[in-house]
Amino acid sequence: MKPVEIKDNVFWVGAIDWNERDFHNFLTRRGLTYNSYLIMDEKITLIDTVKHKFVKESMERIKKVVDPSEIDYVVVNHIEPDHSSGLPDTMKIAKNATILCSQRAKDGICKYYDCEGWDIRVVKGGDEVKIGKRTLTFIDMTMLHWPDSMATYLKEDKLLFSNDAFGQHIASEERFDEELGLEEAISWTKLYYANILMPLAGLIKKKLSEIQSSGLEIEMIAPSHGVIWKNPGRIVEAYSKWANFESGNKVVVVFDTMWHSTEKLAEAIADGAGSEGAEVRLFHIRKDPWADIVTEILDAKAVAIGSPTIHNGLFPPVAGFLTYLKGLKPQNKKGLAFGSYGWNGNAVKEIQKILEELKFETLEPLMVKFRPTEEELQKAFELGAELAR
């Protein structure tokens, strides 16, 4: 349980959760990390805590640098329990520490936990706290992604503790992007962004613009999950593309099926899109992780969604997926609703309505009664080709 020195006298002292496989219905197939950072200066500072059951692991790392009872400041960038649930046990050890957080974070901390006796100091965006040779500068991150969120910048080291921004859900012994592999790190970050931060694209664009116009120099980004970015420019560039919904020539076809009729339509649509040279992704809603599906939707130009009709409405797995997708608010897409039915085509009508609510530019929906004929499969093929064009 060694700490990792990421800058001179700045240490990663977090925890690795190898076994977690679910985060808010987001499949974390490679587990996740809870990153906490220790700054050794005249005032010993801990940036964020870890999930409660990993406090012991984190403390063992801290003990290899300093007695945890000597911690002077605990910065709480965000109060979601994957970060803050270790705070009560941390404060039992660092009894004299002052907590630095936003006003909303203070309110939330005292709702989640018994904060009686804790010294909590509220800071705002732009505030600075000297901890010796170094300076902590706080950056307002309201609604990125909770109302209480902020980031902390270590001015002299040009190091941004970004909390959830730029993070990934992946458990690994590698602490840096270069060690994991830069492209792999970006891939895991894309998965995280698509499933957690996609609906905040407008706020993300605004915040990226603010940081760039402020002239803030960033040599390293240390998020609260996943690897640390020694190449901050690369991930900031990727975030900018995702926030602007920049897309490749890709068509994503998503479906579920009862007796394979909707499946046949999905395959024909995918074949049609591929015939026009598009990159194609085909997903079965009950067999493929929703997190993977929306990650592909993030930078796709077109999305086709299919469902059979059951009980005069959507097949339940499709209804669940569409609820998930609506919450993530993908933008700048073309869409196609399709499916088979026996008595009416209400499922396709409901998909069409949701695509319109998402402001997708839609093609005429495709509804097929019972098993599709060769002519109807040809129609599906042509619609796929039209989507690709």
**Spatial distance between the Cα atoms of 96 and 71, rounded to a whole number of angstroms:** 8
Which of 17, 48, 82, 256 is catalytic? The answer is 82
Amino acid at 66: V
Residues β-bridged to residue 7 = 10
DSSP string, 195-214: IIIGGGHHHHHHHHHHHHHH
Residue of 330, 321, 209, 339 whose CA lies nearest to 266: 339
Q: How far is CA 377 from the centre of its chain?
A: 37
Which of 37, 73, 192, 341 is catalytic? The answer is 192
How many other CB atoms sit within 10 Å of the CB of residue 190?
20
Residue of 349, 385, 354 whose CA lies nearest to 367: 349
148 catalytic? Reply is: no
Which of 57, 153, 225, 341 is catalytic? The answer is 225
57 catalytic? Reply is: no
Which of 17, 164, 256, 267 is catalytic? The answer is 164
Rounded alpha-carbon distances, angstroms, from residue 290 to 118, 201, 285, 297, 305: 41, 20, 7, 10, 13
Which of 17, 145, 169, 341 is catalytic? The answer is 145
80 catalytic? Reply is: yes
78 catalytic? Reply is: yes
Label residue 18 exposed, middle or buried (CB < 10 Å: 0-12, 13-18, 19+).
exposed
Which of 5, 72, 80, 386 is catalytic? The answer is 80
299 catalytic? Reply is: no
**Torsion (CA) 210, 24, 329, 335 in degrees, nearest 10:** 140
Which of 8, 24, 374, 375 is catalytic? The answer is 24
24 catalytic? Reply is: yes
83 catalytic? Reply is: no
Half-sphere exposure of 278 (CA within 13 A, CB side): 29
82 catalytic? Reply is: yes
SS3 51: coil
Which of 41, 48, 78, 256 is catalytic? The answer is 78
**Spatial distance between the Cα atoms of 174 and 49, rounded to a whole number of angstroms:** 20
Active site residues per annotation? 24, 78, 80, 82, 145, 164, 192, 225
